[in-house]
Amino acid sequence: MNFAVPANLEAQLDELVTHYPQKRSASLMLLHALQEHFGYISRDAVEWTARKLGLQPISVYELVTFYPMFRQEPLGKTHIKVCRTLSCALAGSGELRTHFCQKLGLDAHKHAAQTTPDGKFTVEFVECLADCGNAPVVLLNEDLLPKVTPAQADEIVAKGNSK
């Protein structure tokens, strides 16, 4: 098995588990940490988490399939989440997402997350990001960008391409 959690990360996760009277509660926090480290939640990561928390793998796997933020395959290095919900839609987030897709050669008609073949970008529509006063907003990896224009979108693409 190639799956190995580095010792320092495992120590952090062990500490997280102590935050809860019942180990199972740490599931989401462990999955977040593993996804951050490995880029996605593999089958091995599910089984590792289940062993760590004394659970059946299905009890962890059902979280991966329920919570939209968890991924079962690697994502692009630049992850572009465009808000789809009403206030952003009124401010043109649909057109903004189409712009990203066209720029990156992705299918704008596909709703689900799409990753470019070179693995540089993932573009995704997500539901309300809770910054509606700054619509349209984009969550770029961990940074929330307000009032994103097509020109800014082009910059994001240029920057992601040079990575």
Interface residue with other proteins, options 4, 11, 58, 130 (CB under 8 A): 130
Give 49: exposed, middle or buried? Use CB within 10 Å, 0-12, 13-18, 19+.
buried
Among all chains, which residue has been given the structure tokens 């990896």? 141
Cα separation, 106 vs 48, whole angstroms: 34
The distance of closest approach from Cβ of residue 58 to other proteins in the complex, given in angstroms and rounded to an integer, is: 11
Q: Give yes or no for residue 139 binding other proteins (CB under 8 A).
A: yes
Interface residue with other proteins, options 62, 73, 118, 154 (CB under 8 A): 62
Q: Give yes or no for residue 17 binding other proteins (CB under 8 A).
A: no
Q: Give yes or no for residue 134 binding other proteins (CB under 8 A).
A: yes
- Pull the structure tokens for residue 15: 């500490």
Q: CA dist 107 to 55, 59, 63, 123, 143, Å?
A: 39, 34, 28, 10, 24
Q: Give yes or no for residue 32 binding other proteins (CB under 8 A).
A: yes
Distance of alpha carbon 22 from the chain centroid: 27
Interface residue with other proteins, options 52, 79, 84, 99 (CB under 8 A): 84
The distance of closest approach from Cβ of residue 118 to other proteins in the complex, given in angstroms and rounded to an integer, is: 25
Interface residue with other proteins, options 144, 145, 150, 161 (CB under 8 A): 144
Q: Is 72 left (phi over 0), alpha (psi -120 to 50) or beta?
A: alpha
| Total residues interacting with other proteins, rule: CB under 8 A | 42
Question: Residues interacting with other proteins, by CB under 8 A?
Answer: 19-22, 24-29, 31-32, 53, 59, 62-63, 66-70, 81, 84-87, 89-90, 126-135, 139, 142-144
